[in-house]
Amino acid sequence: MITAYAGGVEMITRPSRTAPGVDQPLAASLRAENISVRFGGLAAISEVTLALERGHILGLIGPNGAGKTTLVNCLTGFQAPTHGRVLLADAPTLGWTAEHFRRAGVARTFQAGRLFKALSVVENIEVTGAGLGLSRRRARSLALELLAWLKLDDKAETLAGALAYTDERRVGIARALLLGPAFLLLDEPAAGMSDAESDELSSLVKAIPKTFECGVLLIEHNMRMVMDTCEMIHVLDSGRTIAEGTPAQIQKNKAVIASYLGGEGEKQLEIMEEGH
């Protein structure tokens, strides 16, 4: 399927949607319904319900070990919930692998870059296109368009192993976008970035829903970026949902301040307030 976009990337190829139970057009929502994950005696997440909608940006925050990555793993087929369901377009995804989710339009990035270090940046993105069955020429042209959109075109021929950590994150986003996702889940894309770099990334992420017609879930500890980028925020603590709301509501929420914003997040909020 070829889809034209209004933004900088002119066209992108969507893979055929071969996951069971998924109908065209692309799913409008990806939902976790009352899901729990246990690792032996540890409850990593408990009874969490969350909905990601196409065209919107949802933030997912919480202290280290709160269960954010585990939740993303459930929403992308890397982890099966112990209880509860993940629904795509209201259809249950029981038994789906990560490959099923990917083919159904759910793409993610990882905290660690997972790039082929001996390949160039553009080749790293091209291989994703090759995996979708695109010709080399088509994969390369899409990869170059995405790199330009992400303001990384000057690094196209750089070996991935020589990239700055922050640039690795953006290459990971380019690879995920090449899949033409209906949903894009970003795991700490601004880690290690300066304020100027995270502001630039924030502008790009804010443009993703319209440009690529997808929904974004943003996991981030960088509160400046979360508050500036997300329309709604979901807060986890010790595996449980403690709040949901707009950035303004979350910044004032007493439970969130007590568990998270009172610690590492607060310093960042103070810096934000000084800067605005």
Ligand X SMILES: Nc1ncnc2c1ncn2[C@@H]1O[C@H](COP(=O)(O)OP(=O)(O)OP(=O)(O)O)[C@@H](O)[C@H]1O
The residues of the shown chain that bind ligand X, judged by CB under 6 A, are 39, 42, 44, 62, 64-70
Between 9 and 75, CB nearer to ligand X: 75
Least Å from the CB of residue 40 to ligand X: 7
Beta bridge partners of residue 97, listed in sequence order: none
Tell me the HSE value of 79 on the side-chain side, using a 13 A CA sphere.
21
Strands in the chain per DSSP E: 2-4, 11-13, 29-39, 42-53, 57-61, 83-88, 91-92, 106-108, 183-187, 215-219, 232-237, 240-245
Best CA proximity match to 74, nearest among 55, 112, 42, 47: 47
Least Å from the CB of residue 44 to ligand X: 3
Between 79 and 128, CB nearer to ligand X: 79
Query: Which residues touch 249 (CB under 8 Å, ≥6 apart)?
Result: 243
Least Å from the CB of residue 252 to ligand X: 22
Between 66 and 176, CB nearer to ligand X: 66
Tell the residue number behind the tokens 């700490």, with chain if given.
Answer: 188
Between 158 and 238, CB nearer to ligand X: 238
CA-to-CA distance for 227 and 246, rounded, in angstroms? 9
Query: Which residues touch 218 (CB under 8 Å, ≥6 apart)?
Result: 57, 58, 59, 60, 186, 189, 205, 225, 226, 229, 230
Between 99 and 264, CB nearer to ligand X: 264
Least Å from the CB of residue 112 to ligand X: 11
Residue pair 202/225 in contact by the 8 Å Cβ criterion: yes
Least Å from the CB of residue 239 to ligand X: 7
Interhelix angle 121-131/136-149, rounded to 10 degrees, is 130
Helix-strand-coil split of the chain, %, nearest 5: 40, 25, 35
Between 80 and 130, CB nearer to ligand X: 80
Least Å from the CB of residue 39 to ligand X: 3
Least Å from the CB of residue 217 to ligand X: 13
Between 80 and 207, CB nearer to ligand X: 80
